Homo-oligomer: A and B are copies of this chain.
């Protein structure tokens, strides 16, 4: 599962480094930061995926999240509790679609870049969520019934953002191509102010690495 952000790009690189033959899946769910979809395509190619697919789901029609509702502003300070950028059940939907494709491909693993250390507090980024989805996969599919359910791999779960950055740099991930910002412009340039930008910048800083993010003009000159 490749959103086009820093985490999922790192996961793809890690899976490739283990010798896995990878198929990448992005979800066009009406996110305002559509530049991440273009980034996912570039990263898939750079990192040697066999095939990249984009599934389109009009999640925006349901509303309820600042990531899909243009009427809701993206917060530019850290929230207490679960922020308005939470998209209800989004990772459940994405994993469900990945589960279907994995079964068709007869894939043995699904890689997801969720992380429960430097993150925004979304419920569907936690270890209990991944375990519960694994248990579901065991009973929901033909492969599960046959005793070879796909394994949900979340190799970044317990890493800090800085550790993720260091791992990705060691694997040669070109982070300039990744888009994390919730309100990236069409060129994939970041706002520098939202939650996603905050965690990403802190990650580079704590890793002792230059911030490879491409920021929107005004921000870059700050």
Identify the stretch in A14-22, A140-148, A190-198 within 8 Å (CB) of chain B at 4 or more residues: A140-148
Residues of B within 8 A of A133 (CB): 136, 140
Report the separation of the CA atoms of residues A209 and B16 in the bound assembly, to the nearest whole angstrom: 59
How many residues does chain A have at the interface if contact means C-beta atoms less than 8 Å apart?
A: 43
Cross-chain contact A82 with B142 (CB below 8 angstroms): yes
Residues of B within 8 A of A91 (CB): 140
Q: Is the interface of A mostly helix, strand, loop or mixed?
A: helix
* Residue in chain B with minimal CB distance to A128: B139
Report the separation of the CA atoms of residues A137 and B115 in the bound assembly, to the nearest whole angstrom: 19
> Which of B82, B104, B135 touches A88 (beta carbons < 8 Å)?
B104
9 further A-B pairs in the complex, CB-CB below 8 A; given A53-B61, A62-B100: A56-B58, A63-B104, A89-B99, A92-B96, A93-B96, A123-B141, A124-B140, A133-B140, A135-B136
Q: Which residue numbers of A lie inside 8 Å of B, CB to CB?
A: 53, 55-59, 61-64, 82, 86-93, 95-97, 99-101, 103-104, 123-124, 126, 128-129, 132-133, 135-136, 138-142, 144-145
